[in-house]
Structures are given as structure tokens and as C-alpha cells.
Structure 1
Amino acid sequence: MPDANLFTASQYAAICDSLPDPAFILTESGRYAAILGGKDKRYYHDGSSLIGQRIAQVLAPAKAQWFLQQIHAALSSQQMLVVEYELSARDVLGLPDEGPEHAIWFEGRISALAHLYDGEKAVLWVASNITASKQLQQLLQRQAMGDELTGLHNRRSFMQAMSQAYAAFQRDGTSACLVSFDVDGFKAINDGLGHPMGDQALRDLAHAAQQVATAQDLVCRLGGDEFVILSLGRSMADTMLFAQQLLHCGRQALVPYATAGSVPTLSIGIAHFSEHDTSVEDIMRRVDQAMYISKTQGGHQVSAADSKVA
């Protein structure tokens, strides 16, 4: 191999300038001292105009503060720091409001430099665009945690959230409840109208449930026509009101799927987390029992644990 000392200063500059990913020299105070590379124009714009500016002049305050924290952390540890971060139009000062809304994801590799730049400590920050791999990762996660038919959370997502909610209830007493429901006479829809119509009925019901739910509710499809909502922070009275709204909206959503003159309805069960529950399974067993009471009483009603609510 050739001796590295054979490279001239201009050759070194050409090599650095040819790097596909941009490498920023950022000082301790947050000044752009130099920018190298970034020649892959599929992902990067010319950043030469940043030289001499400070991060606070380029990025929104919260994002600029985060960048400074990473610089200081790398200088303090004297070890390479690897971080992932996103930048969107709202993070960059001076961009027009009609700029792209989607965020661009980067992996930053930050290393402290041995020499001072204009009397300041500095780091080398190499930014690699990882948007494509991040989007794929997020897609795979949605597919793993989402119900393909309705777009709701699936059983895996529900069980994960349920475990977290139960842990919070045990630790802090954070109130939570389950609202479980299925469709009375769903088989008649499949048999009388066909399975494609049955699938559409489930989509419409899922949409109706999302319409009455709030940000504190996790709406899930467990399978078939079985749904459950994990609700946080509602009192018993509020949960009853919510369940009645769900009962009404669910029936309205299922009107187009009436067979033999009978509109499908919902059987709903409610179970609040209780100090007597020893596991997640205890809560799920109680809400299933409550829903079963609604079903055996003729459907289109709400039952809470051991007591029916008309």
C-alpha cells in the first residue's frame, strides 16, 4: 500500500470532499466550522452556506439545544457517540411553510477532535441518511402490531399495552378499564351477505369505535368479530356513558348489514382494574364474563363485571 504521507494536502481535501455522507466540524459553542463530503445528491443538499453560522441560527430552539447536548456529551466522554434523529421542515429556520412535511431520519456519528478550531474544542459529526431503513422498520412494526383488516391495534399490541397498564395500576394506582364487545348475529352477515360484506362490516364497526374513542383509549381487534378497548383514566360513570355511546354508534354502523330485517347489534362487557386482580388474565376473564352476560341476556346491552346496565 502507498505511504499515507505521499498524499498531498490537495489530495486529502479531494478525498474528504468526495465522501458520500456529509461530515460537519462543529465547535463546542455550536458553530459550523467546516463541512466535508455530502456528495450523494440523492439525499443531501449543498451545505456550504452553513459554514460560519451557529446551530441556533439554523435550527429551532429545542432541536438546536439537543444538538449542543450531543456535542458536549461527545467532548466530555472522548468516545464516539452514535445517535438517531429526525429533521423536518418545522425544525429548520427560514424554510417556507409549504416545505415537505415528512421527516428525514439520520444516524449521527460524533467524535471529539484533538485540535482546537478558532480556539474552541470541536467534534466531527458524520450524518448518514437512514430514512429508507427507518420507514421500513416502522412499516414492519406497524404490520406486527396492527390488524390487517381494520387497521386497529392487534392482539399482540393489546397484550403489550395491557401489561404496561396493569404494571402502572399496581405501581401508582393508575385507573384503567377494559370495554370488550362483539357483534350479535355476526354469522348471519357472513352467511346471508357473504364474507366480503362481513369484512366490510368489521371495518365500519372499527371506524365507529375509533370515532367515539379518545386519545386515552386503545382500540383493538382481537380476532373475528371480537374487539376490546383499553381505556385509561375513566371513572365508572364515564365508562358506562362511553359504552352506551359505543352501543349506539356500533348499531348505526351495522344498519347496512341487516339480514332478514334484523339489524346486528353489540354485546358489551366492562371490567375496571381492581385491587383483587392478581394478573392481566384476571381482568380479561372478568370482562369476558361481563360480555357473556350481555350476550345471554339477548344482546344490545352493556354489562359491568357482575351487574347489568340497561
Structure 2
Amino acid sequence: MLNPEFPNPIPDWNDQIPVPVLTVRCADQKLLFLNRAARELFGDAAKPGLDGAALFPDQKVLQRLLDSMQQGNETAHAEVVLKNASKTCRYSITANAAEDTSGTRIAVLALSEMVAEVSKPEKAKFRSDITMCWGIFDQAAVGIALFDRNLDFLDVNRCWLDMFGYTAEEMSALCPNDLTLPEEDFLTYERAEMLLEGKLDQYRGEKRLVRKDGSLFCGDLSASLLRDGKGTQSVILCFLIDITDRKLVEDKLQASNEQLEAQLAQNRLLQERLRDLAVRDPLTSLFNRRYMEETLRRELLRAAREDRPLSLVMIDIDRFKPLNDTYGHPAGDLVLKELAALLLRHLRSEDIVCRFGGDEFVAILPGAPLMTAAQRAESCRLAFQDLRIVYEDQVLTSALSIGVSEYPRHGATGEDLLFQADSAMYMAKRAGGNRVMVWG
């Protein structure tokens, strides 16, 4: 708990200062605290509660310093001769005004042994260092809190109180988890034990914290072990930085990035759809003639490189024009779509099926020799011959004429293979249709 008898910071903090430091109440010269260096200097003669003037051979020295503090001065200086168990030395005293938690005026005295004549710059630096050591806790621009092993507040600085909107007395009655949302933790007892036992050097995390008025802010919390001059594990030291503004910027940036990613994904999808429109037949969703011609050139180069065969299958629907004229274009479109689906079912996934134009289709069969391609074409012909397509109240049937050519037997270029497959297909039509013919 916070101790109103002692100024900030708590004794363990002051014990780490290498020079003698003592605090005296200005009103009655009562000693409130002596750090380790001061206790070693004065020995049993100095204890909290005793008259501070008794420590000085010239008691007027202390009175002058305290009077200066009472008159509103923040600092004062004096020199005094002190005798300890081993020697007599001259000391320079720097007095800094402060107040305890109840508002009582106190003086913080820091003593520096003058073993030789000390220059003015050196004196000024010493006084500056002492002032800094004392002010770093309460004047720090970050929140600082000290906890015991039970996670009870020992002390907090002014910035910490300002962040949460509590007084020192109100803060002392809280536990750390009172400062966070119910579903989060401030600093668990398990982490505190790990810090105290030396199993964890530092804990750090971002927290959503709750002010006294219920409003939220984001804090960057770091906790470590504060040791005294002998290395004894003592209390847990926490630093807290308000990062609300930074988190708002990060959240806005993340939202912008997510929006940008969504837009990019939408653009990629649109580009894919545009690419599909460029290479796909809109009615059957098969590849179009342009894509077929580009792919055939590429596949022929690969067939030549790998010394593999390639077959080309040209497919035409028998008597498609009379069917289209009799039942209308929607019926003809349905037949075209049913044939496209059938070809995809009966050919391999690596075969490339295209709508060549009108009622003509082309299939590129990489690696397939002539007879294998003819067998697959025959399978497609038989399946289509047996297909019954229902259109409105009519059942539509049709047949296929198919021509097959092979690389390199029937040509080395795509134009040659298309011409030979087309010629074989017309041979099938002239023979009565509903059949597969191979070139040559």
C-alpha cells in the first residue's frame, strides 16, 4: 500500500542511490527516511522519528535549509563537517523541496563527500544528478507503478494517475485487474511469480485499459524486477505508455489495407473473367477458336521436343441446320451445350476441347496416337447418338460426323492437321454421317 509518511519514490528505490539521502519534515525537523548510504554514514544515531538536527554538529545548518524550503524555495545548498566512526569529512548538502502524499512540506537532503576542493561545475553537476534521481519517478512522461509480490500497489507516479484519472488514495485501494476489461488481464500472479523468481526478465504486452470514468485507452505495458543495491529481488516495476493515438492510426491503416486487398482481389477476379471472355465461348464455356489455334501451336512444339504423337479431332453435328430451323435457335443452343458437356465427360482432363465455330468442335489430344484418338472419338459418337435432349415438350436426338488426324503422320503444322481432320470429317458426312473417319 502507499505510505503517506514517505515521499515518492519508496525506500527501495532510494536505496539504489549511491550517495547519502535523507528526508526531513520541515515543520518539526523529524527524520522520515534514510537510504542505505545515509544509514551507513550516521549509524545508530539516525533513525526515522528522531530529530534530524542531532545529526549535525552545527544544528543551525539544518534549520537554515528547512527554513528555505518553508519559504517556498525548491532547492538550497550548504556545507557541513561530519564525523563518522573512521574519519571526519566535509560534505556538500543539496536540499530539494517535496511534499508527501498528505501535502506536508518535506526536504530531501543529498550529501556529497568533499575529499578535495570541488569546482563549481562539479558541484552543479552533482546537484543536477540528485535532482534528476529524485524527479525521474514523479516527473517521468510515462506511467510508472511499483507492486509487491501480491500485486498490491506500492507507489505510482503522477503520469500513471493522470492516465487513469484516480487519486493516489483511490489507486491504492485497487488491484491491477481493476484497470482492464473483464476478459483481459493486467499482470497475472503467474507472470509476477516468474519475474520475482528470475524465470522471466521482462513481460511486455499491449492492453486495453479502463479509466475511472469508464472510457478505454490502449497502453503498452512493460514489467520487470526492481532490485536494490545488493541485488535482492524486491518489487515489480511497471512502465506504461498511452498508445491510443498510435493504435487508431494502425487500425485505420489496417482497414485501408484490407479495403485495398479486397479491391485488388476484385480486380484480379475481374481480370480473370476478362481473360475467360477472351478465350472462352460464351454459349458452351469451352475454349474458343483463337485459344485453340494458340494452344495447338504450343502443343505441337512440345510434341516435337518430346518426340510424342498428337492427334486432332474435328467434330460436326449431323443435320444441325434442319434441327435449328425446325425447333428454333434456343433448341439448337441447348444441343450445342449438351454436346460440349458430353465431350468434357468423355475426354481426358489434359485434352483441350474447343468450339471451332457454329456446330463444329475441335479436340486436341496431346500424346494420343491416331488409333487411340479414333477410339475416344467413337466413344463420344456413341454416347451422343444415345443422348436424349428434352426441349420443352420435345425429345431431340442427333448424331456426329468426326474426322481424326495425327502429328507427325498427317502434317507438321496446325494448319495441316486441321485441314486433314476437316477433310476426314467431310468424308464421314459424305458416307452418310454418324461415323468416325481417320485421314489416310
TM-score, with normalisation over the residues of structure 2?
0.41
Give the stretch that moved more between structures: 141-150 or 11-20: 11-20
Matching of residues 172-183 of structure 1 within 5 Å: 172-183=306-317
- How far apart are residue 191 of structure 1 and its match? 1.2
Q: 1:255 to 1:12 in 2, by over 3 A?
A: closer
- Per the alignment, residue 68 of structure 1 pairs with none
Q: Is the counterpart of residue 138 in structure 1 residue 371 in structure 2? A: no
Work out the number of aligned pairs and report it: 197
Runs of 4+ in 1 over 6 A off after TM superposition: none
Classify the secondary structure of the residue corresponding to 2:387: helix
Q: Is the counterpart of residue 154 in structure 1 residue 288 in structure 2? A: yes
Among residues 241, 255, 258, which one is paired with 1:39 in the alignment? 255
Contact 1:270 1:303 in 2 (8 A): yes
Q: 1:278 to 1:209 in 2, by over 3 A?
A: closer
Classify the secondary structure of the residue corresponding to 2:386: helix
- Per the alignment, residue 185 of structure 1 pairs with 319
- How far apart are residue 237 of structure 1 and its match? 3.0
Matched letter for residue 304 of structure 2: Q
Q: Deviations over 1:262-310 (max 9, x none)?
A: 942100000111166242111111111111110111101111112xxxx
Q: Is the counterpart of residue 304 in structure 1 residue 438 in structure 2? A: yes
Q: Deviations over 1:34-78 (max 9, x none)?
A: xxxx1338559xxxxxxxxxxxxxxxxxxxxxxxxxxxxxxxxxx
- Per the alignment, residue 81 of structure 1 pairs with none
Whole-Å Cα distance in 1 between the matches of residues 398 and 250 of structure 2?
Answer: 68
- How far apart are residue 182 of structure 1 and its match? 0.5
Whole-Å Cα distance in 2 between the matches of residues 286 and 158 of structure 1?
Answer: 16
Contact 1:204 1:254 in 2 (8 A): no
Classify the secondary structure of the residue corresponding to 1:135: helix
Gap runs ≥5 in structure 2: 1-242
Whole-Å Cα distance in 2 between the matches of residues 274 and 254 of structure 1?
Answer: 37
Whole-Å Cα distance in 1 between the matches of residues 275 and 340 of structure 2?
Answer: 20
- Per the alignment, residue 406 of structure 2 pairs with 272
Among residues 243, 246, 250, which one is paired with 1:17 in the alignment? 250
Larger Rg: 2
Contact 1:201 1:254 in 2 (8 A): no
- Per the alignment, residue 299 of structure 2 pairs with 165
Matching of residues 1-310 of structure 1 within 5 Å: 13=246, 17=250, 20=253, 38-40=254-256, 43=259, 130-253=264-387, 256=390, 263-274=397-408, 277-306=411-440
- How far apart are residue 212 of structure 1 and its match? 0.4
Gap runs ≥5 in structure 1: 1-9, 21-37, 45-105, 107-127
User: Percent of pairs identical after alignment?
Assistant: 29
Q: Deviations over 1:121-142 (max 9, x none)?
A: xxxxxxx862111100000011
Whole-Å Cα distance in 2 between the matches of residues 261 and 132 of structure 1?
Answer: 42
Q: 1:163 to 1:19 in 2, by over 3 A?
A: farther
Whole-Å Cα distance in 2 between the matches of residues 175 and 13 of structure 1?
Answer: 65
Please tell me the root mean square deviation across aligned C-alpha atoms, in Å.
3.0
Q: Deviations over 1:146-189 (max 9, x none)?
A: 11111111111111111111111222223211111111100111
- How far apart are residue 227 of structure 1 and its match? 0.3
Matched letter for residue 249 of structure 1: A
Classify the secondary structure of the residue corresponding to 2:256: coil
Q: 1:254 to 1:225 in 2, by over 3 A?
A: farther
Classify the secondary structure of the residue corresponding to 1:130: helix
Q: 1:261 to 1:130 in 2, by over 3 A?
A: closer
- How far apart are residue 18 of structure 1 and its match? 5.5
- How far apart are residue 252 of structure 1 and its match? 2.3
